[in-house]
Amino acid sequence: MPPSNDLAARGAGIELTDLTKRYGDFVAVDDVSLSIKAGEFITLLGPSGSGKTTTLNIIAGFLQPTSGQLTVDGSMIAATPPHQRDMGMVFQHYALFPHMTVAENIAFPLKQRKIPQSRRAELVQAALATVHLGEYGHRYPRELSGGQQQRVAVARAIVYSPRVLLMDEPLGALDKKLRDWLQLEIKRIHGELGTTFVYVTHDQDEALVLSDRIAVFNKGRIEQVGAPDELYERPATLFVARFLGESTILRGEITPDGIGVCARLLNAPDALPGGPGALVVRPERLAVRPADHLPDVGWNALPATVIGEIYLGSSRKLELKLPDGSSALVREQAGNLSDARRGDAVTMTWRVTDSVLLLDEPDVEAVLT
Ligand code: ATP
């Protein structure tokens, strides 16, 4: 759908090449390369301290990288100061000016850019309408709720039609219900504007809802970049499998003769000669059948015991214990529940193509069977 908003801008493409940021001996961002496409919504996702904010601040120009390159639409911008980068920024804490009205706050970046008064009023109104706060221009920030203040912060960041909008945990201070609603608002605004959005969060659900693509950060490096479904269905590392959604991880020894459980070989062909490996299966791809069930062709099966049941309304989670002592999580949809109960001996089964084989990671304690 073409952008339909008065503030629409042609999004810029951003290229990070071998970016590194050191603080003394500590490497906060470690050789990060990432191509952000013009107009896309990309999320930098990772745990606390993984280097997301540092990367965003390098893009914004608040920090200089120790080494590496940053280009916007093909031009190097290392020497361009933040206010000349044509980027808007929204932080977790709204950073509105308390002594200015909402309209004055939003007009502030237009004044800095010497936009004439009459045009300023039109743009402020367009920005307020975009965040659905058309009637609130005369209020002061203290007269607004947290969610409304954050929408004003978004309006102030988009009012001059920047080609890139950088957002650092913008919903982090809000309660869950408001956050869920504002996620949809941010997604709608992205669709209306055509601006490139770079969004930082540690919340995997938020990343899945919002993003065209997600870059998963771990210890200053990018582990994997891809569309939400790609990361969820085909995680490239155990870290990504665990960080994004729930997974059952079956550890073992990879045997070249093909005996034992099988997996779709996506990411780890080098693992085939042998050595520790892990199969990742999402809980909703696992099923529980009676203990004497024989798997069909193309299916794997393992004996298991049900050790826990959690009723969740629309689904039920079963925790199973496997023969090697490890546990597995199975999610059954309501309307499609098995008869299995706590204490039952069962067969856990799944399609070969629903599991991904990964190399075990050295910092993960391996439980080999
Ligand atoms: P969070 O979600 O907690 O903000 P993050 O992924 O955004 O985490 P960064 O803020 O990018 O992480 O920080 C990455 C690492 O760099 C952290 O370990 C942090 O302590 C370190 N770091 C950041 N700024 C400095 C600094 N000025 N001096 C030294 N270390 C720093």
Which of the residue ranges 31-45, 113-127, 339-353 has the most confident prediction, judged by mean pLDDT?
Answer: 31-45
Q: Are residues 200 and 308 in the same domain?
A: no
Q: How far is the CA of 134 from the centre of ligand 1 (A)?
A: 37
With respect to residue 241, please indicate whether it lies within any of the assigned structural domains: no
Reported as a single tens digit per residue, the pLDDT across 138-150 is 999 999 988 899 9
Reported as a single tens digit per residue, the pLDDT across 293-345 is 988 888 888 899 999 999 999 999 999 998 888 899 999 999 999 999 999 99
With respect to residue 238, please indicate whether it lies within any of the assigned structural domains: no
pLDDT band at 266 (very low <50, low <70, confident <90, very high): very low
With respect to residue 124, please indicate whether it lies within any of the assigned structural domains: yes
Q: Are residues 229 and 166 in the same domain?
A: yes
Tell me if 101 CB under 6 Å of ligand 1.
Answer: no
* Atom 28, ligand 1: residue with shortest CA distance: 23
Q: What is the pLDDT of residue 353?
A: 84
Q: Are residues 57 and 181 in the same domain?
A: yes
Residue 167 in tokens: 């957002």
Q: Are residues 194 and 317 in the same domain?
A: no
Alpha-carbon span 188 to 44, nearest angstrom: 19
Residues sharing a CB contact under 8 Å with residue 226, sequence separation 6 or more, in sequence order: 213, 214, 234
Alpha-carbon span 196 to 161, nearest angstrom: 11
* Atom 7, ligand 1: residue with shortest CA distance: 53
Q: How far is the CA of 240 from the centre of ligand 1 (A)?
A: 20
Q: Are residues 116 and 207 in the same domain?
A: yes
Q: Are residues 42 and 155 in the same domain?
A: yes
Tell me if 156 CB under 6 Å of ligand 1.
Answer: no
Q: Are residues 304 and 182 in the same domain?
A: no
Q: How far is the CA of 49 from the centre of ligand 1 (A)?
A: 5
Tell me if 21 CB under 6 Å of ligand 1.
Answer: no
Query: Residue 251 is part of a domain; what is its CATH number?
Result: 2.40.50.140
Q: Give me the chain's average pLDDT, please.
A: 88
Residues sharing a CB contact under 8 Å with residue 257, sequence separation 6 or more, in sequence order: none
Q: Are residues 58 and 151 in the same domain?
A: yes
Reported as a single tens digit per residue, the pLDDT across 13-22 is 999 999 999 9
Q: Are residues 90 and 126 in the same domain?
A: yes
Tell me if 48 CB under 6 Å of ligand 1.
Answer: yes
Q: What is the pLDDT of residue 8?
A: 77
Q: Are residues 200 and 272 in the same domain?
A: no
Reported as a single tens digit per residue, the pLDDT across 52-71 is 999 999 999 999 999 999 99
Give, for ligand 1, the residue of 50, 203, 214 to mutate: max count of ligand atoms closer than 8 Å to Cβ. 50
pTM exceeding 0.85: yes
Q: How far is the CA of 212 from the centre of ligand 1 (A)?
A: 25
Looking at 201, 233, 265, the residue that finishes a domain is: 233
Tell me if 308 CB under 6 Å of ligand 1.
Answer: no
Tell me if 57 CB under 6 Å of ligand 1.
Answer: no
Give, for ligand 1, the residue of 54, 57, 203 to mutate: max count of ligand atoms closer than 8 Å to Cβ. 54
Instruction: Residue 310: name the closest of 302, 318, 301 by CA.
Output: 318
Looking at 170, 198, 233, the residue that finishes a domain is: 233
Tell me if 92 CB under 6 Å of ligand 1.
Answer: no
Tell me if 201 CB under 6 Å of ligand 1.
Answer: no
Please report, rounded to a whole number, the percentage of residues in the chain having pLDDT higher than 70: 89
- Could you give the angle at the alpha carbon of 201 between the alpha carbons of 195 and 205, nearest 5°? 100
Q: What is the pLDDT of residue 260?
A: 54
Q: How far is the CA of 220 from the centre of ligand 1 (A)?
A: 9
Looking at 206, 233, 260, the residue that finishes a domain is: 233
Report the domain count for the chain. 2
Distances (CA, A) of 235 to 247, 252, 259, 286, 307: 10, 18, 24, 17, 27
Q: Are residues 289 and 345 in the same domain?
A: yes
With respect to residue 239, please indicate whether it lies within any of the assigned structural domains: no
With respect to residue 240, please indicate whether it lies within any of the assigned structural domains: no
Give, for ligand 1, the residue of 53, 57, 171, 198 to mutate: max count of ligand atoms closer than 8 Å to Cβ. 53
Tell me if 311 CB under 6 Å of ligand 1.
Answer: no
With respect to residue 224, please indicate whether it lies within any of the assigned structural domains: yes
- Based on the number of CB atoms within 10 Å of its own CB, is 26 exposed (0-12), middle (13-18) or buried (19 or more)? exposed
Mean pLDDT of 245-273: 62
Q: Are residues 310 and 285 in the same domain?
A: yes
Instruction: Residue 249: name the closest of 259, 264, 239 by CA.
Output: 239
With respect to residue 319, please indicate whether it lies within any of the assigned structural domains: yes
Nearest atom, ligand 1, residue 56 CA: 11
Does residue 150 sit in helix, strand or coil? helix
Query: Residue 186 is part of a domain; what is its CATH number?
Result: 3.40.50.300
Domain carrying residue 78:
5-233
